[in-house]
Every structure is written in C-alpha cells, then in structure tokens.
Amino acid sequence: MKTEKLVRYMKLRSKIEGTEWGLDTEYLEPYFKNGGRHFFGVHLDDKGNLLFDDQEPFKGFFNNWEMRMSGVV
C-alpha cells in the first residue's frame, strides 16, 4: 500500500507531539487512490514517498526521520 510510509511517519510524529494517531492504511489508501497527496501537512509523490512536512513538530524532524529510514544515520 502506498500510504504505509505515511502511517509510520505519522505514528512517530504524533508521539512527539503528544497526540494519538489512530488512522491506518485502510483508512488513508482510498484518499491516495483518488488523488490525495497531502495529509496532515505531509506531501507524498505518486509512489507514496514522503516529500516534505509542512507541520513537522520542530525544524529538521522530517529530514532526521528520512535519514534514519534510509539507513544513513
């Protein structure tokens, strides 16, 4: 599913923000299939890759997450 990365990212972001994340890929996937590429400040490409986050909890949070997921850190 194309929204799996988004769900993983949002689970961590919501933990940092002190909020609950209860949405899963089954909920988000229909929106993605219908053209949605912007969820809660996070922008995705057509393959489901996360591009950037307009609402990251602090500057650099998204880039740090990306580096960790790519194995750079």
Cα–Cα distance between 50 and 28 in angstroms, integer? 14
pLDDT in tens, 53-70: 999 999 999 999 999 998
Low-confidence ranges of the chain (pLDDT < 50): none
What pLDDT sits at residue 71? Answer: 83
Name the helix (H) or strand (E) containing 44.
strand 42-44
In this structure, the number of other CB atoms found within 10 A of the CB of residue 7 comes to 18
Which residues, in sequence order, are CB contacts of 9 under 8 Å at separation 6+? 42, 50, 53, 62, 65
